[in-house]
Structure 1
């Protein structure tokens, strides 16, 4: 009877070891199929296996920043004329595009926090885990995923959090690190190779931005003057 339950997918009599194996397999599926899929095949890189050795320690990793690093890297790679595919968490890119580009979908153009304030029924169903480490949403720091190092400029997305957007800092240059791949680097310890970026990441709490929430998000004259000299005014009709 016990064997029949296990063959049918039942977990009533499953041991702790079996539950751990099932959890690891499911997490691997999420990593390889949703969070960090490979554009070239349907396999999961072995580099993620050690991260699942201790399931109690899994939540200590910043998975969100790692996913964003992979997506940014793929977006950069896809801009090359020879690129024919794209990997990374495309659901994140798609949801962002639908939310901020109304012509792609029939959604309202509102900052992220507004639906939570104006629609309590939506806020009620969002799990508290979604707000874990929310202090990372607006920082200026490198985001790292093994060989991948991308710089997250939180000062460029303040308006999406209903905050006044000031003149941003100049973009950080990560040099040749931006084009690093894993080919021919089997002996490389990425924790050592990227030590200086990891040190900056570890100091993330000191890199939080000034967040001034306001219902009036029109840019200041000083910002408009800066944008006119540094941006692309012709996108706004001249």
Structure 2
């Protein structure tokens, strides 16, 4: 709803190979061009190269579009955001990565009293509500941290928007019917999987968000060593069948099928 990323489809996972030669081959296959060594870091590509490439390449042919939309990018985005929030909660952490646009707009949607003035988006996704908000709400720009802390301290029960996408809150013309086609999987309690990242999607703890009655949550899942995995250093293996990940990949498949 917020970013327009699909939540159904294939896992964003596969092989990682710590070899510049393999990276060249893959980039040539995917993009038709290869980065220079100065545009890489280890076996990864710097974001600046990918951003420049995005400006040059136009995704227009139907084959490329169908190839991209078959993956669950929403699931991967949420997995990395959960991981980033977990790390940011540590006392010695000074910064955060992940999709901060998703985090910010989620907070503004659920806590309207914290958000700048929004306008109804003319097109999907709902993040467009606050596009160029700096120009439309000068007052918000000068609010201090103390203001937001006090607003959270004074939070009343009815100020949190549990069902944020109901028709009385979102213009039905903005969200097409096909967005809701797979909405049944939104409340599935499954692991979120994206390469090295495994996070638990504990929807049983926020059932009201999906219009359900909140019951007693299940015992939280212990991700054990999978939660400590990082994508640094040589990682020459297939994450789908990696010993620490194969169990969670299967749990995701079973959870989606049975749900």
Q: What is the match of residue 73 of structure 1?
A: 83
Structure 2 unaligned blocks of 5 or more? 1-27, 33-45, 51-58, 118-158
Instruction: Please state if 1:143 is matched with 2:192.
Output: yes
**Greater radius of gyration (CA):** 1
Deviation at 1:113, TM superposition (A): 5.7
In structure 1, C-alpha distance between the alignment counterparts of 2:174 and 2:106, rounded to whole Å: 20
- 1:149 counterpart SS class: strand
Q: What is the match of residue 106 of structure 2?
A: 96
Residues 51-62 of structure 1 aligned to structure 2 (within 5 Å): 55-62=65-72
Q: What is the match of residue 166 of structure 1?
A: 215
In structure 1, C-alpha distance between the alignment counterparts of 2:112 and 2:235, rounded to whole Å: 45
Moved more, 92-101 or 190-199: 92-101
TM-score relative to the length of structure 1: 0.59
Paired residues of 1:69 and 1:145 also in contact (CA < 8 A): yes
Paired residues of 1:65 and 1:144 also in contact (CA < 8 A): yes
Q: What is the match of residue 247 of structure 2?
A: 196
Deviation at 1:162, TM superposition (A): 2.1
Paired residues of 1:141 and 1:207 also in contact (CA < 8 A): no
In structure 2, C-alpha distance between the alignment counterparts of 1:207 and 1:169, rounded to whole Å: 17
Residues 87-236 of structure 1 aligned to structure 2 (within 5 Å): 87-105=97-115, 109-112=160-163, 115-116=166-167, 118=168, 122-193=171-242, 194-208=245-259
1:75 to 1:43, Cα distance in 2 relative to 1, 3 A: farther
CA RMSD after TM alignment: 3.1
Paired residues of 1:140 and 1:207 also in contact (CA < 8 A): no
Higher helix share: 1
Structure 1 unaligned blocks of 5 or more? 1-20, 26-40, 46-51, 209-238
Paired residues of 2:109 and 2:164 also in contact (CA < 8 A): no
Q: How many residues align?
A: 164
Deviation at 1:102, TM superposition (A): 4.1
In structure 1, C-alpha distance between the alignment counterparts of 2:83 and 2:232, rounded to whole Å: 16
Q: With CA pairs under 8 Å and 6+ residues apart, which has the higher RCO, 1 or 2?
A: 2
